Structure 1
Amino acid sequence: MSGDGTASLEAERPDRTVDRTPGRQRPPVAAPGYSASKTYTDLHDAIGSARDFTAAFLLAEVHRRRGIRPRTVEDARLVVSELVTNVVRHAAGPCRVDLHLTAGTLEIAVSDADEVIPVAHAQDPARVGQHGLEIVLALCRSVHVEPIPSGKRVRARLAVD
């Protein structure tokens, strides 16, 4: 962790990018595409609900158009589950999940009120737990953490075709 309280996520795959610019805000993702958002103020059932919300969003899009791999729904559910689990374990809430689907990419953004930037640990098969960000990094094209006025946002981009 650097002196300003930020840390970068480490990527293993050269074909995936991880934005390491602390404090840099990305502009909001613009249309065209399909978007959905849900905010969880009660984190008790947030993990399962967020997984179901993500699956329902993607399955509705499968019915509307082609181009989403069947495996994408399960990968997206897993990414959302890991990111929301981090919120439940390390932040007091609320948690917001934003999904934005454009040609070839699903952007999953999870926001919470905790300013502490998550850190991906080095791979260690003997370690029990704390593999969530490793999983997200393995599945996604890119992962970016950005501070927001009320905490932080983690954006993960997942290939859908």
Structure 2
Amino acid sequence: MQLSGDTSCIAAARRLAADFLTRASTEQHVVVSAHALGLTQLVVSELVTNARRHAPGPALMELRIADSTVEVTVQDSVPVRPTIHASDPQRIGRHGLEIVAAVAEDFYVRLEETGKRVTAHIALTDGPVPRPQEP
């Protein structure tokens, strides 16, 4: 999904993530907990907000199922590694990456010539992944 320059793309990205996981659940029989759906929307919101706020030009978001996680990747045009600030309850704002790192199973940044790719993996279930029962 290419993200537009205004803030309406943040809500659109959250809806896209929810629709993606709902389709994965209903069409592909991927187990997705309500908690995972909410966390995915939170991560999408934080990553897209950062891309829109700190990078000029278009940004891209990709979603895919990877093993027992949903992989959320947001690509923008600034080839600078973002900073996760130390926890500070007095600070207003700038908690986005701190939140993403706290809720993600895995979180990393890959710098590229044209910008960066920020990727987070969110567990699809709240506990062990259920295995299909044999007939």
Q: Residues of 2 paired with 1:56 and 1:80: CA distance?
A: 13
Where do residues 30-69 of structure 1 align in structure 2 (5 Å cutoff)?
A: 38-64=1-27, 65-69=29-33
The root-mean-square deviation of aligned C-alpha atoms, in Å, is 1.2
Gaps of 5+ in 1: 1-37
1:83 pairs with 40, 44, 47, which one? 47
Identity between Structure 1 and Structure 2 (%) = 38
Q: Residues of 2 paired with 1:70 and 1:44: CA distance?
A: 25
1:99-127 CA-partner distances (Å, limit 9, x unpaired): 11033111111000011211000011111
Whether the 8 Å contact between 2:5 and 2:52 is mirrored in structure 1 is no
CA shift, 1:150, in A, is 1.1
Q: Residues of 1 paired with 2:26 and 2:92: CA distance?
A: 39
In terms of fraction of residues, the more helix-rich structure is 2
Number of aligned residue pairs: give it. 124
TM-score in terms of structure 1 length = 0.73
Gaps of 5+ in 2: 126-135
1:93 pairs with 45, 49, 57, which one? 57
